[in-house]
Amino acid sequence: MYLHCTADSAFLRPQSPLKLVVGSGSSGGFYSPSDPGGVNSSRSWFTYEELIQATDGFSERNLLGEGGFGCVYKGILTDGREVAVKQLKIGGGQGEREFRAEVEIISRVHHRHLVSLVGYCISEHQRLLVYDYVPNNTLHYHLNGRGRPVMDWALRVKVAAGAARGIAYLHEDCHPRIIHRDIKSSNILLDRNFEAQVSDFGLAKLALDSNTHVTTRVMGTFGYMAPEYATSGKLTEKSDVYSFGVVLL
């Protein structure tokens, strides 16, 4: 299967054109299929020992967050690059599937409003993903964190527009289309300039152009989930649009 991503749709294109980075050996935005294991070889592979060193032994002071998926730690690679290391809980097949899905999808695309995958680690029962570190926490934190100043409207519009560009890129400019399936405020990261980056592709699905929808097991976050998807399991890009609408509320 080939995945092709082009520039932003005209409706959401910012004043300056977005830079599209293509993988090694690629041209015109075409990405070669990854190897049978589901991991694109153009990204870096890390040993578990390297990530232990980068995170100072996964120390608590480097803990950025945790949830049902596992924990995220801040790390510094040997070249000084700051990264976020996502250590997944692999309990049964679901965790393994989410790991494969996230590497398979996010390693194929690059966009200023999507979090960038640096590499991954597979070591016995350990599954880790390494991302560029996004230093300004999540939209959820800035909206709901205790003691946080109220975000003004200009900043809210900037964040919303950035996230919308990232989502539109997945839906309109990637072939096959990518449905994120878990759009929510805690999956929108913010950099120092409050530019949004959509993250967490563990539940994402590829939608072949010949299909009007994808029938799949219902997964996501209640409250953000589109009701027609929750009741029927029929997934479309509109499911992401509904979830994004909840974020805007």
The full 3-state SS of 25-83, as one line of letters, equals: CCCCCEECCCCCCCCCCCCEECCHHHHHHHCCCCCHHHEEEEECCEEEEEEECCCCCEE
pLDDT of res. 197: 98
Which residue shows structure tokens 């590497």?
A: 103
**Regarding predicted confidence, which is higher, 156 or 232?**
156
Q: What is the DSSP letter of 168?
A: H
Report the pLDDT value the prediction gives residue 92, as an integer from 0 to 100.
Answer: 58
User: Which positions make up the binding site for ATP?
Assistant: 86
pLDDT at 24: 31
Binding site feature residues = 86
CA distances from 93 to 51, 56, 247 (A): 24, 29, 30
Of 10 and 119, more confident: 119
pLDDT average, residue stretch 165-191: 95
Catalytic residue among 35, 56, 173, 182: 182
Homologous superfamily, domain 3-132: Phosphorylase Kinase; domain 1 (3.30.200.20)
Mean pLDDT, to the nearest integer, of 57-79? 92
Residue 35 is predicted with a pLDDT of 35
- Counting residues of the chain whose pLDDT is more than 70, the rounded percentage is 79
> Where exactly does CATH 3.30.200.20 map onto the chain?
3-132
Residue 219, SS3 per DSSP: coil
Predicted confidence at residue 91, as pLDDT, reads: 66
- Known catalytic residue at 240: no
Residue 89 CA to its chain's centroid (Å): 17
Instruction: Give the residue, 163 or 124, on which the prediction is more confident.
Output: 163
**Choice among 3-7, 172-176, 234-238 with the minimum mean pLDDT:** 3-7
pLDDT of 73 > 80? The answer is yes
Strands (E) in the chain, as ranges, are 3-5, 30-31, 44-45, 63-67, 70-76, 82-88, 117-123, 126-132, 174-175, 177-179, 188-190, 196-198, 205-207, 214-215, 234-235
In the predicted structure, residue 241 carries a pLDDT above the cut 60? yes
* Strand pairing class (117-123; 44-45): parallel
Tell me the β-bridge partners of 214: 235
CATH number of 139-248, picked from 1.10.510.10, 1.10.150.110, 3.40.50.720, 2.60.120.560: 1.10.510.10
Say what the pTM is: 0.79
Cβ of 246: how many Cβ atoms within 10 Å? 15
Q: Which helix (H) or strand (E) holds 133?
A: none
Q: What is the pLDDT of residue 102?
A: 83
Q: If pLDDT is split at 50, 70 and 90, which confidence band does 99 have?
A: confident
Q: Measured between alpha carbons, how far is 87 from 169 in angstroms, rounded to an integer? A: 27
